[in-house]
């Protein structure tokens, strides 16, 4: 950090300076206002833990006149938030605006270019531009921190970078989107359909007015791609996350899953294996899965998030808590700021946002879809006529899919008959092949839905 008061950020000496760490806050919405409240409410204990007080010096948002429930009068106001990066009275820029590009990215780039540490909660920006930002931050010797970008208040990035740092991570998976989890667990509790519960979630503030990013899995995929990079030492590869959301899950799917001993959850999962060329490859998927009732994630209800990390020495670690909200998210943001304050004298915190140097992150090829072994739930809505079941069974047989159980049910008041099956363990590619054989069949009223079953 070029303009830290009195201390040389990379001097390697421990300074006794108690100069405050000076913060510029861009974005005063849910999280930004939460950060102000937290920094004020816990000022004393934070100063003791950080080794110096935290001092917000400048703030910015779109609308200066808006009442945010916090007193902004002690802080300088900047109409143009990107200008905060150049202020002399700022050590750390905290970006809480959002959006992968636009002003948030301009501010982030400017902050690093001016030698300021950058803290952000912006998963979209990190998923798309995290490598570039980390590279320039490392070259400049400034800290880049984004704990709040993944699973809100849960310290899962710190868990991976610090607590599990000695482990080879074998698999990481979890519930990374509170909106989807709220919708699915409410559908489960009430038997209501997706659209109905989504509308209620919007009214209650659990879902955005435009919920597309959440319900189509994009938000969870942003978070998963960030976790994968840290867990497996790979470059962020958001584009390769096989992403599907929850909008096709019906009340009938929830009921059938329940009868079979499962619940349905949107799961983000990443694992690394060796490809045939002997090189590590990365599998990343965000999809609704059937979760066995005895799985660690089966009890994660409502807007809660949870992440399971499987390390080769630590074993299975479960991180669980609030994945969103002003308090939890502010808690993660301020934890990053405290880390930076603690590292001011040594520069230690300026290094390795992704656990190893960004220049050492591998470029891993994406593992092909369907290479995994597993069990799947497949749901068809079919025409109510003879021969349809035989047609489906023939496609399964020809693709090498073995069926463990099958349910057939007329749907009251709806077109078509529901046929749901669970397969024995086999290559997921065989299921894809079976569905390809049925593609275009006039027996199917709508495209089949495949939900993989989360393995142990």
Binding site residues, ligand NAP, CB under 6 A: 27-32, 60-63, 66, 81, 96-98, 103, 121-123, 148, 152, 324-325, 329
To ligand NAP, the closest distance from the beta carbon of 211 in angstroms equals 14
| Active-site choice (116, 204, 223, 409) | 223
The residue (of 177 and 355) whose beta carbon lies closer to ligand NAP is: 177
Of 263 and 334, nearer to ligand NAP (C-beta) is 334
Residue among 60 and 355 whose Cβ is closer to ligand NAP: 60
The nearer residue to ligand NAP, 337 or 399, going by C-beta atoms, is 337
Question: Taking the complex as a whole, how short is the minimal distance between the CB of residue 397 and ligand NAP, in angstroms?
Answer: 47
Q: Which is nearer to ligand NAP, 60 or 423 (CB)?
A: 60
Q: How far is the CB of 32 from ligand NAP (least distance, A)?
A: 6
Q: Specify the residue, 149 or 263, whose C-beta has the smaller distance to ligand NAP.
A: 149
Distance in Å, CB of 235 to ligand NAP, minimum:
22
Paired tokens of 438: 């049925």
Q: What is the closest distance, in whole angstroms, from the C-beta atom of residue 343 to ligand NAP in the complex?
A: 23
In the complex, what is the shortest distance from the CB of residue 23 to ligand NAP, in angstroms, rounded to a whole number?
16
Phi-psi category of 40—alpha, beta or left, where left has phi over 0 and alpha has psi -120 to 50?
alpha
C-beta of 225: minimal distance to ligand NAP in Å? Answer: 14
Catalytic residue flag (residue 140):
no
Q: Which residue is nearest to ligand NAP (CB)?
A: 29
HEC string for the chain? CCCCCCCCCCCCCCCCCCCCEEEEEECCCHHHHHHHHHHHHCHHHHHHHHCCCEEEEEEECCCCCCCCCCCCCCCEECCCHHHHHHCCCCCEEEECCCCCCHHHHHHHHHHHHCCCEEEECCHHHHHHHHHHHHHHHHHHCCCEECHHHCCCCCCHHHHHHHHCCCCCEEEEEEECCHHHHHHHHHHHHHCCCHHHHHHHHHHHCCCCCCCHHHHCCHHHHHHHHHHHHHHHCECCCHHHCEECCCCCCCHHHHHHHHHCCEEEEEEEEEEEEECCCCCEEEEEEEEEEEEECCCHHHHCCCCEEEEEEEECCCEEEEEEEECCCHHHHHHHHHHHHHHHHHHCCCCHHHCCCECECHHHCECCEECCCCCCEECEEEEEEECCCCCHHHHHHHHHHHHCCCEEEEEEEECCCCCCEEEEEEECCEEHHHHHHHHHHHCCCCCEEEEEEEEEECCC
Least distance to ligand NAP from the beta carbon of 75, Å?
14
> Residue 379 forms beta bridges with which residues?
420, 449
Nearer to ligand NAP, 28 or 382 (CB): 28
- State which residue, 93 or 381, has the beta carbon closest to ligand NAP: 93
Residue 69 Ramachandran class (φ > 0 left, ψ -120 to 50 alpha, else beta)? left
Provide the annotated active-site residues: 223
């Amino acid at each position: 950090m070029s303009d830290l008061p009195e201390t040389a950020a990379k001097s390697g000496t421990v300074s006794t300076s108690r100069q405050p760490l000076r913060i510029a806050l861009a974005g005063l919405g849910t999280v930004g206002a939460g950060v102000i409240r937290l920094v004020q409410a816990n000022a004393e204990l934070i100063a003791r833990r950080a080794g110096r007080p935290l001092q917000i010096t400048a703030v910015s948002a779109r609308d200066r006149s808006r009442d945010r429930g916090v007193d902004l009068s002690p802080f300088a106001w900047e109409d143009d938030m990107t200008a905060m990066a150049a202020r002399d009275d700022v050590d750390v820029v905290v970006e809480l605006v959002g959006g992968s590009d636009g002003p948030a990215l301009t501010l982030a780039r400017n902050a690093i270019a001016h030698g300021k540490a950058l803290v952000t909660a912006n998963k979209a920006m990190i998923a798309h531009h995290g490598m570039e930002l980390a590279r320039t931050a490392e070259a400049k010797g400034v800290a880049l921190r984004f704990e709040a970008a993944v699973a809100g208040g849960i310290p899962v990035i710190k868990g991976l970078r610090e607590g599990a740092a000695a482990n080879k991570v074998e698999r990481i998976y979890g519930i990374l989107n509170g909106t989807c989890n709220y919708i699915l667990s409410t559908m489960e509790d009430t038997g209501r359909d997706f659209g109905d519960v989504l509308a209620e979630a919007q009214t209650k503030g659990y879902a955005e007015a435009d919920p597309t990013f959440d319900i189509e899995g994009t938000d969870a995929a942003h978070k998963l791609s960030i976790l994968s990079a840290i867990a497996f030492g790979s470059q962020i590869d958001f584009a390769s996350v096989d992403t599907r959301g929850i909008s096709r899950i019906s009340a009938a799917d929830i009921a059938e899953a329940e009868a079979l001993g499962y619940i349905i959850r949107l799961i983000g999962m990443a694992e690394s294996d060796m490809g045939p060329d002997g090189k590590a490859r990365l599998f990343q998927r965000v999809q609704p899965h059937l979760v066995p009732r005895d799985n660690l994630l089966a009890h994660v209800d409502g807007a809660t998030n949870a992440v399971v990390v499987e390390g080769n020495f630590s074993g299975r670690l479960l991180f669980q808590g609030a994945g969103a909200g002003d308090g939890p998210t502010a808690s993660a943001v301020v934890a990053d700021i405290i880390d930076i304050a603690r590292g001011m004298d040594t520069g230690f915190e300026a290094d390795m946002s992704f656990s190893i140097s960004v220049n050492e992150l591998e470029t891993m090829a994406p593992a092909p879809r369907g290479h995994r072994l597993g069990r799947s739930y497949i749901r068809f809505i079919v025409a109510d006529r003879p021969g349809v079941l035989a047609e489906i069974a023939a496609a399964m047989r020809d693709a090498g899919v073995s069926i463990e159980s099958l349910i057939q049910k007329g749907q009251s008041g709806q077109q078509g008959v529901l046929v749901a099956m669970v397969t024995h363990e086999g290559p997921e590619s065989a299921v894809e092949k079976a569905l390809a054989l049925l593609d275009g069949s006039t027996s199917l009223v709508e495209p089949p839905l495949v939900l993989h079953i989360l393995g142990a």
